[in-house]
Amino acid sequence: MARALITGITGQDGLYLSELLLSKGYEVFGLIRGQNNPKLDLVRETVPDVKLLTGDLTDLSSLLRAMEHSTPDEVYNLGAISFVAYSWENAMLTTDVTGKGVLNILEAVRLYSHDEPGRVRFYQASSSEMFGKVHEVPQRELTLLWPRSPYGVAKVFGHYMTINYRESYGMHASSGILFNHESPRRGPEFVTRKVSQAVSRIKLGIQDEIVMGNLDAKRDWGFAGDYVDAMWRMMQQDTADDYVVSTGVTHSIRDLLDVAFRTVGIDDWARYVKQDPRFMRPAEVEMLIGDSSKARRVLGWEPKVHFEELVTMMVENDLEEQRVQAGR
């Protein structure tokens, strides 16, 4: 039975990846952080077969202990402080967790498997936020990185450190440059879930309006459930490498509002949407669109859920959740 260790088990990707690996017969271990983590129950309910270990990406010895306890064949580093807007207010913490945390887990894997580098395969969750002020359209694996936030800078550090460990120590360390990926499990601080929750509450008469930031930004949005399959495929390759994972289609925040409101039968959303500078960012990533032809060619991967279907899925899920919460 193959064994996997996942950091970031409480996030949407950790949950989808756990489900995928369990369905393939893996024994799955998840690293959970902090005392009395508020998401512990969610993980236990969603994926009860995952074995939880305590540890923190900023604490190298806790990572070594997790390696010894789980004796993994594959390590997926999905843990990070991942909300871009928050990263300006907590730049050092973001750097410690999202950046230096990658170095810590790489070190833990290296020390644990020093007798046979490459025995434990490593996946790093790199991000399209690394492209920031984009230098090429669409963005591919070799596009110049120009991050626009402390989060993006930290992800660039982790990305290059992963490549460096592959080249320095012969580790099987791959990096997935994932474009935005969403799902009904996405945190409500991200724009897709913020919109799907608000639109369902407006439809049910629980909320009057939604206050937004920049409506002109464009993102290449895919479904998280599809993207974890690309992670697993990278780990099955003989040679470790870096891959862009994206749909290749971009949409603006306005398009997102169009589809979300249309799902609940509202065509003219202008009167429900306000804008406020507090949701604007000190520097913006204006437009992302990924060229995932390498992942499609080498990994045989392709996204299955497209934008409209994704947004509709999220709004319908939130309508149901809000109805249950409101007791209707």
Q: Could you say whether residue 230 binds ligand GDP (CB under 6 A)? A: no
Query: Is 148 within 8 Å of 180 (Cβ atoms)?
Result: no
C-beta closer to ligand GDP: residue 160 or 279: 279
Indicate which single residue of 28, 84, 130, 295 sits in contact with ligand GDP (rule: CB under 6 A): 84
C-beta closer to ligand GDP: residue 146 or 190: 190
Indicate which single residue of 88, 146, 160, 279 sits in contact with ligand GDP (rule: CB under 6 A): 279
x/- binding map, residues 170-189, to ligand GDP, per CB under 6 A? ----------x--------x
Q: What is the dihedral of CA 96, 16, 231, 104, to 10 degrees?
A: 20
Q: Could you say whether residue 129 binds ligand GDP (CB under 6 A)? A: yes
x/- binding map, residues 139-158, to ligand GDP, per CB under 6 A? --------------------
Select from 225, 247, 228 the least CA-distant residue to 296. 247
* 94, burial (CB in 10 Å: exposed 0-12, middle 13-18, buried 19+): buried
Rounded to whole angstroms, the Cα distance separating 102 from 83 reads 17
Strands 218-219 and 251-252 come out as antiparallel
Q: For residue 127, indicate whether it is catalytic.
A: yes
Q: Could you say whether residue 251 binds ligand GDP (CB under 6 A)? A: no
Query: Is 295 within 8 Å of 232 (Cβ atoms)?
Result: no
Query: Is 106 within 8 Å of 174 (Cβ atoms)?
Result: no
Please report how close the Cβ of residue 191 comes to ligand GDP at its closest, in angstroms: 4
Indicate which single residue of 75, 97, 102, 191 sits in contact with ligand GDP (rule: CB under 6 A): 191
Please report how close the Cβ of residue 206 comes to ligand GDP at its closest, in angstroms: 18
Q: Could you say whether residue 219 binds ligand GDP (CB under 6 A)? A: yes
C-beta closer to ligand GDP: residue 56 or 129: 129
Binding part of the chain for ligand GDP, among 33-41, 112-120, 157-165, 190-198 by CB under 6 A, reads 190-198
DSSP 8-state class, residue 180: P
**Catalytic hit among 16, 26, 112, 151:** 151
Q: What angle do CA 211, 215, 217 make, to 5 degrees?
A: 135
CA atoms within 13 A on the CB side of 103: 11
**Catalytic hit among 127, 174, 200, 292:** 127
Q: Could you say whether residue 196 binds ligand GDP (CB under 6 A)? A: no
Please report how close the Cβ of residue 256 comes to ligand GDP at its closest, in angstroms: 8
Please report how close the Cβ of residue 11 comes to ligand GDP at its closest, in angstroms: 13
Q: Which two tokens stand for residue 78?
A: 């999905």
Buried-exposed string 160-195: b where 16+ CB fall within 10 A, e elsewhere: ebbbebbeeeebbbbbbbbbbbbbbbbeeebbbbbb
- DSSP assignment string, 48-75: TTSEEEE--TT-HHHHHHHHHHH--SEE
Catalytic residue positions? 127, 129, 151
Positions touching ligand GDP (CB under 6 A) are 84-85, 129, 180, 189-191, 194, 212-214, 217, 219, 253, 279, 281, 284-285
